[in-house]
Amino acid sequence: MLSSRLLAQVAVPFLLALRANAETHLIKFVNQCGYGTPTLMYNGKNVLTGDTYTSNGPFSGIAYLQTGGCNLNGENCTLLETTLINPTCSGCGSSTDISLIPPHKYSVETSFAYYDAPHCDGKGKICSTPSCTNAAFFAPNDNFVQVACQDNDANLLVAFCADATQLVTGNSTSGGSPPASSMPSGSHSMGPSAPGSMPPPATPTPSMMSSQPGSMPYPTASPTTMSMPTPSSTSTDPGCDEPGV
């Protein structure tokens, strides 16, 4: 029979190896609009309690800026869809997109970019007008607007009223956050109270004007139907399918 000391000598390195290879993804939010609450939905619940969410495993969900008119799944607002996962085959990695397929519609400038991903740093999209046809889904077959990343442990920066692709540099950063030097001053989401719930201004700005994009049905795929392992939040708080298809 193996002694307890021998078992410990075998088990500890094994557990450390598992921990070192654990999959982790961060989703960080920057809100420069001066109003609204960043929202990250997973399995029908808002899991964002600060400005950063940590997923200890694959993640598939949606995000939007709640300005008072968005329904639970982001209806009536600009929607971001993301699947963050370490690839197990060619083309099976992370994928993110913006959707304006009804019942979603333009509500606020929305952008995203990957970071801490050697081959994907700064890759993303920005939708700054109701007619951002090169950056958002308007019909289910607009697959060209999806941005994929095949790096392990890719993180995602989501920005409102700011360009996430400009906030992320080409250099990988330590500590799991976009480089501070690339963050413009006055960002409302870099502190603990970032998501806030300030009311929108009385007079809508041009970026807040809505436009109903077509009448194509919204894809039936929903992150709530996926059976990926439930992530856990460490700082504030599955799978090759690409969102928005």
Domains, the chain, in order of start with CATH, read 23-225 (2.60.110.10)
- pLDDT the model gives residue 178: 56
Looking at every residue in the chain, the average pLDDT score rounds to 74
pTM of the predicted model as reported, rounded to 2 decimal places: 0.66
Residue 229: Cβ within 10 Å count = 13
Q: Where are the alpha helices (DSSP H) in the chain?
A: 4-20, 164-167
pLDDT in tens, 61-100: 999 999 999 999 999 999 999 999 999 998 899 999 999 9
- Exposed, middle or buried: residue 188 (CB in 10 Å: 0-12, 13-18, 19+)? buried
Distance (Å, whole) CA 227 – CA 153: 19
pLDDT in tens, 36-51: 999 999 999 999 999 9
